[in-house]
Amino acid sequence: MDLSLVIVAFAAFITPMLLAKFKVLLLPSSIAEILVGIVLGKSFFNVIHLNGVLTTMSTLGVILLLFLSGMEIDFSLFKRTDTSTALAAKKAEQSTSERSPVFVAGVAYSLTVLAAIILAAILKISGLFSDMALAAILLATVALGIVIGVLKENELLGKKFGQTILLFAVLGEVIPLLALTIYSSLKSGRGGTLWLISLVFLAAAFLLFRFRNFFTHFQKYTKSTTQLDMRFAFLVIIVLVVLAETVSAENILGAFLAGIVIKLLEPEETTQQKLDALGYGFLIPFYFILTGAKLDLPGLLSSKTTLLLIPLLLVAFMLTKLPAFFGFKALFSKPNAFAATMLSETTITLILAATTVAQNIGAMKADQSGAFIIAGILTCLLGPLFFKRLYHPEHEPAAKTDVHLIGANLTAVNAAQGLPTDWYSVKLYTDNHGRYEAYQGVTDITFLETMDAKELITAGIFDTDVLVLAHRLAADNYDLALAAKKYGVPRVLLRLDTQDPEEAQRMKVELEKKNIEFFSTFTTGVGVLRSAIQSPEVLRLLTSSDAEIFEIQLTNSLYEGTELSELPEIQNIVISRIVREHQFIAPKGGTQLQLGDHLLLSGSREVVARLRQILNNQNSVDQ
């Protein structure tokens, strides 16, 4: 086999290590791989020679790149608010006080498209590039993968700022991709069969509907030697890519739609990790390195047309995104709006695919393609650099968890008062007038005239993140819990004390079906006492105000794969258990964390607060 395969594999391995060793933080790895390909390819050392194997791997790389880009879209941001409930109506009313990320990203990208059309017209009139439609498509593209990488590195994906830029980048990849598909069909004389492209979308919709419950049940059939989730993902990719090519569309369209289908089917985090590993760890670097290897810079730069086009196209790329500033300014400060604009300047992923398509159908010459690619590479160097210099973190106050507690007794009141006020906003309710009088002035408590669920909904009592039902009557708690879950309360916890074992079992079965948590004061007390007898220090730990038990969920993707021994503040806390996919894991120093892990730990409230702020940063689009 050709030595080129070994050279490309070694280059893919060594490039990120060199970036880390020399602390080159501003250069995206994909751009570094293209530059390495340029050095090893036709432009300089010429030690990489394309063959059938490398061409196939490069094709698979771009397919996986577009597939994973489709999986990065957070579709929850596009959901229309259902105002049929008081909770949703209240949130919708609050959101109208400022522009939403979806609205701002839409306005910003609309201004970008308008600028792209104007600049494409200027290029045509000046005679620099005659194909106005293709120029507009290329100028309006955004490198979604690079934008996501920069946002992750700066822990911004979980913030409103990062979500807005992400949505802009999604539009900058989806809309030009669709436009490129239509353009290539018309340009190659297949306009009469353009309607066949709709079959790809219909097939994607069919797969989405047919396998809507696949990831819920696939664990029953899979094992380590079958990896059924991966086989299914590649089945979707192959079906849509082959169908796209069959109807004369671009294979990258099928790959992108496949990513959207898998994302909407809500795979487990481990499936996403395996797909990322195969894509970014193997095939995608081949695509970027071979893209650079195919460029003949000496030949391109020997052309006066190319030398003239590179700076002009770079300016055109930069000017196209500048109007987006006026959209971002509606939600952010001027410096950060400009920083968002600079990061949005990055454009290479679709440029590489589009120029290849354009050359295949004779719509672009090699020197013009090279000029667009070089200009695109330069935007990926300048965009993150300007963003790093311009961005200043804006204070986004941590959202408190709303807790509404129905049933005022000594245990409930003390538990409510013991919750950290900087983490929780707690309100108590009772229908017992005597207890209302007793606790009024001691805590925030409201008297209930009725325990009817409809009346509680009207009063806004179900408008909370956590509803705790600690009423003395188990039947009341049970009925209210079912009504609350139907209404849409995210988490419902109830006290279930009943002397009828058959009734208790019936209630427990139904509550478990509805994913409602419940406890019994008797069994809870027995469990605590048993633990205290078996482990004398447990009781002291449970009752100590200096070392309480806390739970923290890992949502910051930067700490995914981090070993426990490397966690911040690890010397000042004790982690007793890790809960992963409802399974308890005994922690060890080398245990690697995964997104979604729940850490049960003890330590001082100040230390845990700092750790929670770090690990709870939602630096991910799958939350």
Most confident of the ranges 104-118, 168-182, 474-488: 104-118
415: confidence class by pLDDT, cuts 50, 70, 90: confident
Beta bridge partners of 445: 428
Reduce the secondary structure of 534-577 to three states and give it as a string: HCHHHHHHHHCCCCEEEEEECCCHHHCCCEHHHCCCHHHCEEEE
Among 272-276, 356-360, 539-543, the least confident range: 539-543
> Does residue 370 contact residue 295 with C-beta atoms inside 8 Å?
yes
SS3 breakdown of the chain: % helix, strand, coil, rounded to 5?
Answer: 65, 10, 30
What kind and span of H or E run contains 529? helix 521-534
Q: CA-CA distances (angstroms) from residue 211 to 218, 236, 274?
A: 10, 10, 20
Reported as a pLDDT band with limits 50, 70 and 90, residue 325 is very high
- CATH level 2 (architecture), domain 3-76+121-194+269-390: Up-down Bundle (1.20)
Nearest 5°: the CA angle 505, 506, 512 is 85
Contact 322, 139 (CB under 8 A): no
Residues 497 and 521 sit within 8 Å (Cβ to Cβ):
yes
- pLDDT tens digits for range 52-75: 999 999 999 989 988 988 887 767
* Burial class for 528, CB neighbours closer than 10 Å (0-12, 13-18, 19+): middle
Residues of the chain with CATH 3.40.50.720: 401-528
| pLDDT score recorded for residue 622 | 40
What is the separation of C-alpha 443 from the centre of its chain, rounded to a whole number of angstroms? 39
Decide if pLDDT at 618 tops 70. no
For residue 621, the model assigns a pLDDT of 43
DSSP secondary structure string for all residues of 449-484: S---HHHHHHTTTT-SSEEEE--S-HHHHHHHHHHH
Residues of CATH 3.30.70.1450 domain(s) within the chain? 546-615
Task: Classify the C-alpha dihedral 53-55-61-66 as positive or negative.
Answer: negative
In which order are the strands placed within the sheet that holds 445-447? Answer: 445-447, 424-430, 401-406, 466-469, 491-495, 517-519
Output the CATH code of domain 546-615.
3.30.70.1450
Mean pLDDT, residues 356-376: 87
CATH 3.40.50.720 corresponds to the domain 401-528: yes
pLDDT at 619: 58
- Whether 299 shows a pLDDT value over 80: the answer reads yes
Q: Where do you find CATH 1.20.1530.20 in the chain?
A: 3-76+121-194+269-390
Between 369 and 194, whose confidence is greater?
369
Identify whether the C-beta of residue 138 lies closer than 8 Å to the C-beta of residue 367.
no
Which H or E element spans position 603? strand 598-603
**pTM for this model (two decimals):** 0.68
Provide mean pLDDT across the span 411-427: 82
Highest averaged pLDDT of the listed ranges 85-94, 144-153, 321-330: 321-330
Cα of 149 vs its chain's centroid, Å: 11
